[in-house]
Structure 1
């Protein structure tokens, strides 16, 4: 639009002092020219050098670089240093002559003649017969394209390989399945487990177990992997344990006879069933699966590119990325304004370190392998009116401010449209990240991502007037906005945003706003939520607090949200554990000091935070919230006063069916909630200005909201059985100086000879009746871990391929401190014959167990050495459960084996009812 370009040009020109130099650059220019409009330079780097020379000669900083229309292919980062910056009166302005017409690209077109058909018989035999005649090969060494000497065996996406584009569209690394994921049929061996994924282990890194880096083994279904050649290098991308963390692992071996794949390295959290949904995986970058247009693969060893171009190389721009860093990088360069540029096909679009008054205005940043825009340090940076999309590991990431002094940086992300920002790294790759102190993101639109959209870390940030939708679409235990694990980071405000279509039901649960692992002191004000959050099997809500307190939710509107407010609170013991942990001691007393100024003045709730608070009221509060057509209002420690209103009727929206959630002047909500402040719905999202002359309305295609039925309630358990008469059985657990290897192989020398006399017998059904097919267990401890080994004779036809309690064979360990402290739960570890283990908790022996909100780093392995026998080994960390053998070496305990074919619930101490009712079971005593 010519008028818009003219308006923006006026703004651009006004930013430059009349004394500054203006240089022109053109793809058809010459670096020997004078930089005038008629004799433009050829490169941005040369224009930078000319301005640097001018500033040194005249003492006047800054200047203007005007990029004329065209494509600028860059093979190296264009770097700007401190001496290249401007001043407040004379900034350095780098702009497109017309917005959107100057493209700075980190890719190079591959000459059409480089593309050759595949003729080698050995290669043609590998490629799919239906595709082989469409595949073209490029000798990258001959083309001068550098490749890594090797690809790591374990990494997070993206691959350390160049990307291939066809006319500006990213081509895909060949993979299988072509769309979606395959699922693991059965876990054979969990491999190395470096961390449980629970907050306790992350908070105590020095206590991490040293384990051999050993890859896991799993069984697949179907016969597709029989086509693959692991000896050529084969990598699998998967959610190996949790649905909030994926990783790429190299394949060591494929056994097509048993349909088993062995991985070459262990996964961060082990090959385990960490979340309820099936474990997902896919094969990536393999020639055998190059089967459709728009795909490619790179053979690093032979330095070859293979692709099926969607258009002929003679007419299309088939370009490969060659720039291995930021397209533009600024270091301590003050007063820089970038305007109207297109930055594409690099690794990071724009990065700025320690730059004051750094502005990116009206730019398009797209097709980056990693982030779009990264600002680290400095003050008063502004990213305004930009489009950022199709990036690999995030959109716009800003960090600034001093957390020790709580001095704000004042960075702003405003009126930006950010979408498809997690193309490669599918988890923890956010559209907007605010870190440090006092930064703001407002009036942005964010959408289309498998996991989170917004990351907050730090203090006193404001996230306001944004629209966030269609995120958390392929992840579990996730939030569209996520913040956590550092209670010194507080004072943040999330207000006046519109959230809709957030989350998918995968099992554990997800939220629109997720304050995790003790996070507190945050405000959620005046937001509108439509169909957000999934309670799952836990306490999740649309706004969810895990462990934290002192959060406030006020004047929010929840429309057809199953549970608007959810929380999973921590008890006193767990709070004490985390406050005393290595990580929190560092974060709360060393990185900053929350016991002194300015923290205790800015955040009065932190006074006494580090002290024992056994009777503290740890709650979150909700006031004047409107809950429309929701299933239930809250869970956990949310306190809702009488000012909140839940209704199944239209409370007075302008048009509830068409998604117009403004309120009519006479809306019922104003009578039902005195003092209710209606969210400024019309102001949320993008707005029209000179940098964004057009905002296209988003069609509202969602079905009108309808009242939700109550969330399903668990059936009331039977009455708690009375403990059996007499003294409970006692088992003395010997101390060991050599921890057994948890590999499912019960070696006699690891278990003191595996003597029958030392075994814990598992010979009686839950009702005390003798069983024909019994099991045996051996226990030991080393002061840190309780070790359990169980041998289970079974029918030779028994199936061990499931992980549902009661339906499949399993071993259950249940334990509780003695005497039980207030709110001290029963910990229940259920381990299955297929290698899956889950950690549940129950408040007592009559309560239905629920998934533990955060699990310690337990280890588990199961094997089936012969058809009629399977074995299990478990290591349970005691301290992370709040159990200290040095203070109290006695635990209420039961061990249960479920044998499906025999319909047995074998127990060490039959309870007559629930197996985990340890009050009716026995006692173990950990020997010194």
Structure 2
């Protein structure tokens, strides 16, 4: 439900046709006994006994018309095992089976143990007291989990994603925090000493990364006891926990036990960041706990007095409640909580319903629907979950047969407490599933994930998503262009994204995704272009996306894209990943794909110069800083772009509906009113009192235009364009930031490309040297830079931080309009790659993919950069082509110097004003 001013806008959901009243009733209560008949006067004690009673009825004959209902009275039911229903527990369409909490009573199914306050005692172990901070002494208590019958936790792995494998602790239904440092936010890596190997790129040598830290906090930590760091070690869309193998307090360096998946490097612009988890030394404030895995002891600094408090720990690893190949079963009104596994899992079957449940304090996912058809999750609250909220998976992608699962009227928030990225509030997978009227909010990364075909995401409200991550979207889908036909319509998105540098979006179609529709949405303060081409609705590489009848308010860029050139499309289509996804998993060259999606005809045979665009029609763009980037076709006659209020009802209070007399309806014929009043939670029998969200945000205001580079002032070239010959090598060069004489022609100055002039062509004082080589497939470049000893490598902004820039454009006979490829490698190890059509436009940001870069600082007055640039990445065919238009520049901030091989007298990446490199055979 969305509230405008103080008036709640709500609608009533259509309910399924009523069935006959249950013919059979059983009751379960905390004071019941399983030998009882299960009546209201003599209830059962367990759900299993009620289930078995229904099984007995079915064995004796068929269920009577109306089916059976099990009513569970209020109370706490500790589950040592999950409650499991199977195919023999199925109902029928006219005789369904219902398990329900007694209306008005709280029925808690707990996947753990309730602990008494006297299970804890003061800490007396002198070693522990000496390890904890002084402020913790006298405040921390300890419980012997082994003595309480709690099995020991397994040893923590060297590296992992997701929750730490120890029990969670809850006091008065609030999750306690594992003792960590820093308490809030992140510590930043001072310097990357060694990236370590990169398993993601097939480097399985197992070399761990090494980082340098600031301050002296790690002096307190015991590597022998165990130190684990959760961090964004490369990209701001992928976190991982790594165990520390060694701490050198003299050099302030930490060496990990295992390599990070992507290696430890500067993959996104913001500083690399981390926090330490489950450290006894950091147990120093109320609400924190530490688990000594070896001794099976739980140390807790209680948030308040434990006497009279509800204390629980999670133990159950199976789902609290599961339905496997069961059909026509309804689960209604339960509180599912405190488990180490998932909350509710439905596998297979058809026409099951999960209704009005409160699924909370779950270590993994909230509600998981996998397979089957026609399942429904409605009016549930799903929150404080560890690895996701609600997942709907089903349908047959080979035949494009829909599953018809629905997620309706659910409130989902704080759903990625342990896995910070790719743990969606709602995930739609397979074919033909729907999410509608949900309220989704508060997550560091994405809120909605989609994989598959013909899904519908409509009438939802999504806000405060992607608050701590980069290169991400609140709604994300990508990497498989056979997955299409999805519709994102009539949703309200607001306060999406964070300005971390690379960029983020409200709706993000990634890695060649296309064939999607974005219709009738309202976007308010969504997305951040960063240094690249991001927009509120963003496409990376893809095309055939339709944006229609949307309202964008105070969005920095409404529509963004980073399109791929012919070469990149061809390389993706021919690569193993897409060959498997597009021809083996399914076959997009055959029906039903070619008939259902006519645009896929010929997809696997891309034509050179083929027009690949996305289209925007009848959109209202209000008070934005920029309209579009990339391959979006935005005709200003078919879209209204204005810096003024176009006639909103009450924009200061979030009511972006248009008044009937708004000029939009005359200036954009065919523009339809966007039904904001229907978006979000709505009143229904299962949710009679939807949440009323306040609107504490500042009114919209016009944004200044995004900064654009001024065109460079061209000066006449003073000499003929130089040509540098690039020798061929027979063995690949190792990119490690070290200029080895055996690799680089003896590192002889005579064989180097000199960088000795500024951008205007005048001699420079502090110079650099570069060596270039190729092996027929890859261009290798090494640059040795002299710098001021006071130079700091603490940023990655071109112009304000030291970096090397490589710019190149293939020279092809008869070819025009080829892009300039621009690589910027910074002293801190960060690599930025992009293309620009000419020397005037700023390069857009793209994924560096197979380009390799390494930076080292062997001395205070010197740093080294090495690049390996596959020819395939820059649309170069060495069998036919021999030349690049080429520019090489080094930014030296302390000297305020733009050092170049050939002064361009303008933008450093303007290769047409620099020189050429020519490959030797």
1:40 is aligned to 43
Question: CA 1:682 to 1:916, structure 2 compared with 1: closer, same or farther past 3 Å?
Answer: closer
What's the offset of the Cα at 1:844?
2.8
Q: How does 1:202-601 map to 2 (within 5 A)?
A: 208-346=201-339, 347-601=341-595
Match status 1:699 vs 2:704: no
Determine the structure 1 residue equivalent to 2:74: 69
Change (3 A) 1:257 1:16: farther
Deviations 1:307-363 (A, max 9, x none): 111233332222111101211112111111111111111221101111211111111
CA distance in 1, matches of 2:670, 2:865: 60
User: What CA deviation, in whole Å up to 9, does each residue of 1:452-509 have, x standing for no partner?
Assistant: 1111111111111111112121122221111112111111111111111112222222
With 839-848 and 675-684 compared, the bigger mean Cα shift is at 839-848
Of 129, 133, 137, which aligns to 1:128? 133
Q: 1:643 aligns with which of 626, 633, 638?
A: 638
Paired residues of 1:721 and 1:913 also in contact (CA < 8 A): no
**Structure 1 residue 408, shift from structure 2 partner:** 0.9
- Structure 2 residue aligned with 1:107: 112
Q: Is the alpha carbon distance of 1:545 and 1:570 closer, same or farther for their aligned partners in structure 2, counting shifts above 3 Å?
A: same
Structure 1 residues 708-755: Cα deviation after superposition (integer angstroms, max 9, x where no partner)? 2222222222227648416x3232333233542x33333444546545
With 787-796 and 476-485 compared, the bigger mean Cα shift is at 787-796
Counterpart in the other structure of 2:58:
55
Q: Is the 8 A contact 1:100 1:341 kept in 2?
A: no
Rounded to whole Å, the distance in 2 between the matches of 1:302 and 1:48 is: 39
Unpaired runs of at least 5, structure 1: 1-7, 196-207
Q: 1:423 and 1:79 mapped to 2: Cα distance?
A: 26
Return the offset for 1:99: 5.3
SS state at 1:51 partner = helix
Partner Cα distance (2:87, 2:715) in 1: 73
Q: Which residue pairs with 1:675 in the alignment?
A: 670
User: 2:3 — aligned with what?
Assistant: none
- Maintained 8 Å contact 1:189/1:862: no
Question: Shift of the alpha carbon at 1:402?
Answer: 0.9
Mapped to 2, the partners of 1:648 and 1:587 lie a distance apart of 44
Match of 1:717 in 2: 712
TM-score (norm 1): 0.92
Aligned to 2:873: 880
In 2, the alpha carbon distance for the partners of 1:801 and 1:449 equals: 28
* C-alpha distance in structure 2 between counterparts of 1:691 and 1:436, whole Å: 27
- Contact in 2 for aligned 1:499/1:528 (Cα 8 Å): yes
Q: 1:498 to 1:134 in 2, by over 3 A?
A: same
Structure 2 stretches of 5 or more lacking a match? 1-11
From 14, 27, 30, the counterpart of 1:27: 30
1:155 corresponding residue in structure 2: 160
Does residue 117 (structure 1) correspond to residue 126 (structure 2)? The answer is no
Tell me if structure 2 keeps the 8 A contact 1:718–1:846.
Answer: no
Q: Could you report, residue by residue, the CA deviation over 1:40-94 in whole angstroms, capped at 9, with x for unpaired residues?
A: 2222223323322332232449633221111111122222222222221222211
How far apart, in 1, do the equivalents of 2:601 and 2:790 lie? 62
Q: Would the aligned equivalents of 2:725 and 2:920 in 1 still touch at CA under 8 Å?
A: no
- Partner of residue 736 from structure 2, selected from 730, 739, 743: 743
Q: Counterparts of 1:681 and 1:169 in 2: how far apart (Å)?
A: 34
Residue 564 of structure 1: SS of its match in structure 2? strand
Q: How much has 1:585 moved relative to structure 2? A: 1.7
- Contact 1:723–1:919 (CA<8 Å) still a contact in 2? no
Q: CA deviation at 1:96?
A: 0.9
Q: CA deviation at 1:603?
A: 1.4
Root-mean-square deviation (Å): 2.6
Once the two structures are TM-superposed, the CA of residue 855 in structure 1 deviates from its matched residue by 1.6
The Cα of 1:828 is off from its aligned counterpart by 2.6
Question: 8 Å contact 1:827–1:839 — kept in the other structure?
Answer: yes
Tell me the residue number matched to 1:165. 170
* Offset, 1:766: 4.7
Secondary structure of the residue aligned to 2:463 is: strand
* TM-score (normalizing by structure 2): 0.93
Rate the CA distance shift 1:178–1:777 in 2: closer, same or farther, 3 A: same
CA distance in 2, matches of 1:673, 1:610: 37
What corresponds to 1:88 in structure 2? 93
Deviation at 1:764, TM superposition (A): 4.9
Per the TM alignment, residue 913 of structure 1 is displaced from its structure 2 partner at its CA by 4.6
Query: Equivalent residue for 1:655?
Result: 650
Q: Please give the residue correspondences for 1:731-770 in structure 2 after superposition, counting only pairs within 5 Å.
A: 731-737=725-731, 739-740=733-734, 742-751=735-744, 753-755=746-748, 758-766=751-759
Deviation at 1:809, TM superposition (A): 3.6
C-alpha change, 1:664 and 1:13, in structure 2 (3 Å) is closer
Give 1:667 shift. 2.7
Distance 1:834 1:661, change over 3 A: closer
> What SS is found at the alignment partner of 1:679?
coil
Q: Tell me, yes or no, if the aligned pair for 2:22 and 2:69 is still in contact at 8 Å.
A: no
Partner of 2:583: helix, strand, or coil? Answer: helix
Which of 654, 661, 681 aligns to 1:686? It is: 681
CA contact (8 A) 1:733 1:779 kept: yes
Stretch of structure 1 that moved more, 780-789 or 47-56:
780-789
Per-residue Cα deviation, 1:775-824 (whole angstroms, up to 9, x for no partner)? 44444444444333333344444444443434444333333323285453
Query: Secondary structure of the residue that 2:56 maps to in structure 1?
Result: helix
Match of 1:834 in 2: 828
Change (3 A) 1:147 1:878: farther
| Distance in 2 of aligned mates of 1:378 and 1:725 | 71
**Distance apart, 1:829 and its partner CA:** 2.5
Moved more, 261-270 or 415-424: 261-270
Partners of 1:99 and 1:348 lie apart in 2 by: 26
Deviations 1:890-925 (A, max 9, x none): 434444444445555444455455443334444445
Distance 2:786 2:252 in 1: 25
- Per-residue deviation, 1:584: 1.5
What is the DSSP-based 3-state SS (H/G/I as helix, E as strand, rest coil) of the residue aligned with 1:133? coil
Instruction: Select 1:78's aligned residue among 60, 72, 83.
Output: 83
Greater displacement, 654-663 / 72-81: 654-663
Post-superposition offset of 1:108:
0.3
Q: Which digits, 9 at most, give the CA deviation of each residue in 1:155-200, with x for residues without a partner?
A: 11211221111121111111111111122222222222344xxxxx
Contact residue 22 and residue 68 of structure 2 kept, 8 A: no
Contact 2:474 2:508 in 1 (8 A): yes
| TM-aligned CA deviation for residue 573 of structure 1 | 2.1
